């Protein structure tokens, strides 16, 4: 059966990206692969299975459902929940041995009590807020939290971490965050606190902040072959070493000739300035192709760039194919990826939509089937 809209995931590319990250950080630094939001839209279970074979050390998730999906693929892998546990999630996290992120003494006490209840020592990571402002204990309060938590019999802080707010844009603020975190860790070490895992590096800081690796890194976007967008640019050599794993495609459903003055799409948002050949495509915002890209995006048909005309609708959109002589119903259309000598990246699509590549990937929704390629090569 022909797919109307689908994504292709190159598993060999993803494995190659992880190998490159491993080489970049060196053998003494562990890798926590971030697989939030269905592995950034690539399919969590399939990607987790590949990563288990490819050398990841720890998984980073946003919630307990993602952790459970990983456990359904393979048991025994360390999993850190990067988001805070809700009160009614804490018991399940302890029972299923998911490492929680803790930002307060109250959370620490609750987890220790649940550890006692289930006769387990809860391994947790302490989150320190150095400037992101979401989760995390303040730099000033972290030592006291750890000293008080040392009295809790069923809780162990096996890790400590922070998160950079703008490593892709602001080197000065990122350096300030790193120095604050380093000073805290030095103070904690002198007070006798030691951690198996110390981490701060996301994808952007892996590219731009070599001193921030500590002994664990948390790549997300880089694993999937994309560079974070921002004012700080990665050099061309880094770009060549990464291969986007995801391509996104749909079909031409109809081609028609229209005269000048013909209105197109909702709100008559495009009026043909001259006679045109217009193709209707089998993808829209109901598949995750953002409506914000209306009138700005391009797609590839027969290796040629074709501009999107008018508003993107729920299941369809229109493109100008006047420059291509033989377009017909059923032809393949590339929304993200390569066709012939031309290429459209998720970063480029994000720029057209006024957003970031993270949103582009995670917006591709459940009704778009994922087809996995090069499994044997991976």
Which ranges in the chain are annotated with CATH 3.20.20.10?
11-224
For position 87, what pLDDT does the model report? 95
Of 161, 266, 285, 289, catalytic: 266
- What token pair was written down for 295? 């009138």
For position 232, what pLDDT does the model report? 76
For position 238, what pLDDT does the model report? 64
> Catalytic residue at 36?
yes
For position 239, what pLDDT does the model report? 65
Mean pLDDT over the full length of the chain? 94
For position 325, what pLDDT does the model report? 85
What's the pLDDT tens digit per position in 72-103?
A: 999 889 999 999 999 999 999 999 999 999 99
For position 235, what pLDDT does the model report? 62
> Catalytic residue at 372?
no
Look at the chain and count its residues: 378
Which ranges in the chain are annotated with CATH 2.40.37.10?
246-344
Best CATH choice for the domain 246-344 from the list 3.40.50.300, 3.90.550.10, 2.40.37.10, 3.40.50.970: 2.40.37.10
Positions in the chain whose pLDDT score sits under 70:
1, 234-239, 376-378
Of 36, 40, 224, 249, catalytic: 36
User: In CATH, what number does 11-224 get?
Assistant: 3.20.20.10
For position 378, what pLDDT does the model report? 57
What's the pLDDT tens digit per position in 216-244?
A: 999 999 999 999 887 777 665 566 789 99
Task: For residue 62, give Cα distances in angstroms to 146, 315, 327, 355.
Answer: 24, 29, 43, 21
For position 233, what pLDDT does the model report? 74
For position 72, what pLDDT does the model report? 94
């Amino acid at each position: 059966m022909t797919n109307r809209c689908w994504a292709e995931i190159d598993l060999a590319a993803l494995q190659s990206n992880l190998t490159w990250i491993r080489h970049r950080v060196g053998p003494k630094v562990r890798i926590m692969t971030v697989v939030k939001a269905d592995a950034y839209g690539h399919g969590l279970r399939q990607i987790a299975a590949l990563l288990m074979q490819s050398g990841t050390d720890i998984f980073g998730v946003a919630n307990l459902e993602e952790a459970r999906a990983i456990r359904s693929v393979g048991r025994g892998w360390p999993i850190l929940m990067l988001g805070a546990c809700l009160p009614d999630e804490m018991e399940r996290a302890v029972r299923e041995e998911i490492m929680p992120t803790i930002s307060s003494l109250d959370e620490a006490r609750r987890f220790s009590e649940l550890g006692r209840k289930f006769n387990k020592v809860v391994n947790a990571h302490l989150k320190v807020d150095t400037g992101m402002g979401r989760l995390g204990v303040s730099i000033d309060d972290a030592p006291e939290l750890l000293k008080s938590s040392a009295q809790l019999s069923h809780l162990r802080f096996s890790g400590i971490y922070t998160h950079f707010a703008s490593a892709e844009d602001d080197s000065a603020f990122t350096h300030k965050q790193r120095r604050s975190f380093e000073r805290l860790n030095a103070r904690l070490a002198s007070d006798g606190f030691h951690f198996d895992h110390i981490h701060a590096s996301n994808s952007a800081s892996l590219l731009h902040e070599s001193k921030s690796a500590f002994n664990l890194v948390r790549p997300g976007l880089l694993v999937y072959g994309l560079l974070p967008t921002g004012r700080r640019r990665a050099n061309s050599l880094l770009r060549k070493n990464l291969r986007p794993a995801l391509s996104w495609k749909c079909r031409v459903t109809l081609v028609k000739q229209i005269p000048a003055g013909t209105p197109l799409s909702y709100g008559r948002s495009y009026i043909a300035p001259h006679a045109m050949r217009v193709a209707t495509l089998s993808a829209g915002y109901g598949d995750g192709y953002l409506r914000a890209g209306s009138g700005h995006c391009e797609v590839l048909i027969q290796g040629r760039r074709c501009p999107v005309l008018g508003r993107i609708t729920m299941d369809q959109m229109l493109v100008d194919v006047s420059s291509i002589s033989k377009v017909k119903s059923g032809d393949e259309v590339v929304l993200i990826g390569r066709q012939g000598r031309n290429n459209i990246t998720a970063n480029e699509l994000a720029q057209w939509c006024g957003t970031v590549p993270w949103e582009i990937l995670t917006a591709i929704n459940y009704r778009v089937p994922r087809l996995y390629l090069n499994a044997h090569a991976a």
